[in-house]
Structure 1
Amino acid sequence: MHILVFSQYHTNPDCPATSRHYSLLAHIARYHRVTLITTRTWEQQRLTQEFPWLPEGVEMRAADIPYHNRMGPARRVLAFGQYVAYAYREGLKVDKPDVIWGISTPLTAAWVAARVARRRRVPWVFEVQDLWPSFPIAMGAVPAGWARQRLFALEKSLYQSAAHVLPLSPDMTRYVTDLGIPAAKVTTVLNGTDLDLAARATDAAVAALRQEYRLEGKQVVLYAGTFGRANDIPTLVAAAEELAAQNPDMCWLFMGLGYHEPLIREAAARCPAIRLVPPQPRHAVFTWFRLAAVSVVSFLEMPVLDANSPAKFYDSLAVGTPVIVTNQGWTKAFVEQHGAGWFVPAGQPDALATKLLELLAQPEKLQTAGQRGKQAARQLFDRQQIAHTVKQVLEKAATLR
């Protein structure tokens, strides 16, 4: 079977990114022919050269289209449009596929997958990584009312035209079915994590990292990910400074890049307990999570963000580090159900500092929660199992002609 994949951003484990689809494509390509239409955006951002850029068996067609998080809305829209034009042309040139897999975000990548599927008269599967256009609209990136209406109409039409829909969280699934899409046509496939890479976070690797970064005797709090507008970073910085004044053995690491990096850099300059760590390759990030006593997964208090499926949530639990979440959605329900973490409302630095102070004084409680999270991760977050589910959905969809 030939599977044609539309994904604007391809990464591998040498990149400072989740590399979800690297794992999924590697599994699926063992059974089927896979052609990926993407861009070279991340290829120049590799931090190491340990992994091949493409999984074995995957064919790639890639456009040189610049993109980065510092781009404004207009420049991002241009990049999305350039990918659509390239992907549409290439999608009509490749050997006819049996099924098409369209991966959003952005929504335009799913749209071009649907267009090519219609033109070539093959079924397509829609993977929903984030709720677009709800997220950019909530963040004020689409001010015109007519544009918002058009985008919502486009979104619903894509759900309707897809043979199957793959949301990355239970809350996303609920959102899709609430639009009238039959539940039988929707399968939740969690973002998940790479348990083989998590196994690299050994005691020796953690000890070496502690020594290299002079963290011996420190209780580490970790935020790893994008420093974006949606991530409530000012709250974390304020909580870190408050906590540092009360717990001299605490060190809060902020690992990543993004909009709020200057804010973190300024805080680190005035508070030695706050450190800014550069982005790490995918295969190394797990040791940083295991080094931490607790990690924080934060978002602004917006209903659309409650549905998120953040990689750092899965990665932390996979190595036995409990998580504090700040959104009200399924991650809150998950950590409470499994005893793998805690909830603190977004935008409340005092409450976050108080909870962390309480937890850091109870290392046994942190360890117990971490072990519960690790057990849940083994059962529910393995990307090899998720890849098998995606493969089955694609195989079934290919029969719906």
Structure 2
Amino acid sequence: MRCTIVNRVIHADSNTEWHHATELADYLARRGITVTRVALREPGQPDAPAERNLHLLPRHYSGKHKIRRLLASLLEGRRLIRHALKLDHGPIICMTDPPLLNFWMARETRRRQIPWIYWSLDLYPEAFAAAGLVRRSSPFYRYLQKTVEGNAPSHLLALGPQQAAHIRQQYTPSPGASILPCGIARTPDPAAAPEWARAEGKIILGYVGNLGEAHSDTFVEAALSCLDPKRHRFILAASGAKSARLRELAKDMPAVITLDSVPREHLRFIDIHLVTLLPHWDHICVPSKAVSAVCEGGSILFHGSRENDNWKLLHDAGWRLPPEEKPTSAMKAFFEKLSPGSLREKQQAARKLSSDLLAIRDRAFDDIYRKVKELQ
């Protein structure tokens, strides 16, 4: 039995989507399925990969120019899918990086009647519309969406039940679905706590990861403005389009420690992880930082809608600030009510949810094994 996984990058790495792809490939291999991986060659990778079933294709462009990068992504996505189809190594599990990889998958497999499994992460072309790059009413967008919806996958692997329902209603017939939130893992206890974790009884809050188009920087700014240096410490390890302004704002704040990144094994030392998603990005994105935080025993402060999968899955381990409320007023009210007892309750709930999430991952992997076997 064989199958193929296609994505921009597939190897063990700190990036959670790549990690899950490698985990799934290893799991399927242990169950007797030969897994071929088709990806793009990253800078520094050898031309000839050491692994027999890993196919690395050259990248068209590795720079930061937005238009060139978008055009390169379109070409790279087509090459990845066509290469996977040419190999003919069983059903194809298609992820969503580079953008519109699912478009090429739907377009190319419709003519050839090849079964495929849609592993949805960020949704395209919907993300282009949410970012304001294209109008949903434009002919170009309608063509992309019609093509994606015109060839239903044999199965769906979604980030949560809300995203799964959102995608399934686009297809006729509606595919079956399994749930695999991005970010599920549990790291061993670190040898020692980082220096910033020695907080002398203060509550440690943090924002770790991307702060981009889909996120509210005003929410994070409100948190920074409400900090009490005697009671709080804030770890700011943000990257992305909206991070520079906050880093500049925080550089003279005594309660804030600015870092380039936080290793996964150190997430447990942050008591409350801030997570944000703008409502018009619901189901298009499901921030993995919330899942990663809860898996490591941390609580979350979620700024987003009730309909987002982060809140649906993880609400026992956190608090929610409605995005329609003024962020500074909502944050002040949150800090006034926050107590050591309520924090302990949320962290205890996170530890239970961590075990539940690992079980969800195992069920999803088993579902995909059974589906791949069925599609042979």
TM range (shorter): 0.7 to 0.9
Q: Which residue is 2:102 aligned to?
A: 110
* Greater per-residue helix proportion: 1
Q: Which residue is 1:268 aligned to?
A: 250
CA 1:187–1:78: 2 relative to 1, 3 Å:
same
Q: Which residue is 1:49 aligned to?
A: none
What's the offset of the Cα at 1:180?
A: 4.6
Contact 2:236 2:257 in 1 (8 A): yes
In the aligned structure 1, how far is the partner of 2:249 from the partner of 2:123? 32
In the aligned structure 1, how far is the partner of 2:50 from the partner of 2:277? 32
CA 1:279–1:65: 2 relative to 1, 3 Å:
farther
Match of 2:72 among 70, 79, 88: 79
In the aligned structure 2, how far is the partner of 1:268 from the partner of 1:44? 35
In the aligned structure 1, how far is the partner of 2:133 from the partner of 2:363? 36
Q: Which amino acid aligns with 1:191?
A: P
Q: Which amino acid aligns with 1:294?
A: I
Gaps of 5+ in 2: none
Contact 2:271 2:299 in 1 (8 A): yes
Contact 1:105 1:132 in 2 (8 A): no
Contact 2:157 2:177 in 1 (8 A): yes
Q: Which amino acid aligns with 1:60?
A: H
Contact 1:298 1:346 in 2 (8 A): no
Match of 2:160 among 162, 165, 169: 169
Q: Which residue is 1:35 aligned to?
A: 36
Q: Which amino acid aligns with 1:86?
A: R
Contact 1:344 1:352 in 2 (8 A): yes
Q: Which amino acid aligns with 1:39?
A: L
Q: Which residue is 2:178 aligned to?
A: 188
Q: Which amino acid aligns with 1:353?
A: M
Say yes or no: does 1:137 pair with 2:114: no
Match of 2:261 among 279, 282, 287: 279
Q: Which amino acid aligns with 1:7?
A: N
In the aligned structure 2, how far is the partner of 1:55 from the partner of 1:168? 31
Q: Which residue is 1:392 aligned to?
A: 370
Q: Which amino acid aligns with 2:241?
A: Y
In the aligned structure 2, how far is the partner of 1:213 from the partner of 1:375? 23
Q: Which amino acid aligns with 1:322?
A: S
Q: Which residue is 1:4 aligned to?
A: 4
Comparing 54-63 with 254-263, greater Cα deviation is found at 54-63
What's the offset of the Cα at 1:258?
A: 0.7
Q: Which amino acid aligns with 1:170?
A: P
Q: Which fold has the larger relative contact order, with Cα–Cα distance below 8 Å and residues 6 or more apart in sequence?
A: 1
Q: Which residue is 1:62 aligned to?
A: 57
CA 1:355–1:333: 2 relative to 1, 3 Å:
farther
Q: SS at 2:150's partner residue?
A: helix
Say yes or no: does 1:219 pair with 2:207: no
Say yes or no: does 1:231 pair with 2:223: no
Comparing 258-267 with 341-350, greater Cα deviation is found at 341-350
In the aligned structure 1, how far is the partner of 2:132 from the partner of 2:122? 16
Q: Which residue is 1:51 aligned to?
A: none
What's the offset of the Cα at 1:19?
A: 2.5
Match of 1:308 among 265, 285, 297: 285
Q: SS at 1:297's partner residue?
A: strand
Q: Which amino acid aligns with 1:34?
A: V
Q: Which residue is 1:240 aligned to?
A: 224
What's the offset of the Cα at 1:272?
A: 2.6
Q: Which residue is 2:296 aligned to?
A: 319
In the aligned structure 2, how far is the partner of 1:139 from the partner of 1:106? 16
- The TM-score with structure 1 as length reference comes to 0.81
Comparing 118-127 with 317-326, greater Cα deviation is found at 118-127
Query: Within 5 A, what are the aligned runs for 1:115-134?
Result: 115-118=107-110, 121-134=113-126
In the aligned structure 2, how far is the partner of 1:55 from the partner of 1:342? 46
Say yes or no: does 1:22 pair with 2:10: no
In the aligned structure 1, how far is the partner of 2:52 from the partner of 2:362? 17
In the aligned structure 1, how far is the partner of 2:283 from the partner of 2:82? 36
Contact 1:169 1:189 in 2 (8 A): yes
Q: SS at 2:328's partner residue?
A: helix
In the aligned structure 2, how far is the partner of 1:84 from the partner of 1:270? 44
- The TM-score with structure 2 as length reference comes to 0.86
Q: SS at 1:259's partner residue?
A: coil
What's the offset of the Cα at 1:116?
A: 4.9
Q: Which amino acid aligns with 2:148?
A: E
CA 1:298–1:180: 2 relative to 1, 3 Å:
same
Comparing 339-348 with 379-388, greater Cα deviation is found at 379-388
In the aligned structure 2, how far is the partner of 1:97 from the partner of 1:359? 57
Contact 2:149 2:171 in 1 (8 A): no
Q: Deviations over 1:20-69 (max 9, x none)?
A: 2122222122231111111134x659xxxxxxxx997752323234457x
In the aligned structure 1, how far is the partner of 2:41 from the partner of 2:230? 44
What's the offset of the Cα at 1:278?
A: 1.2
In the aligned structure 2, how far is the partner of 1:356 from the partner of 1:55? 52
> Aligned pair count?
367
Q: Which amino acid aligns with 1:38?
A: A
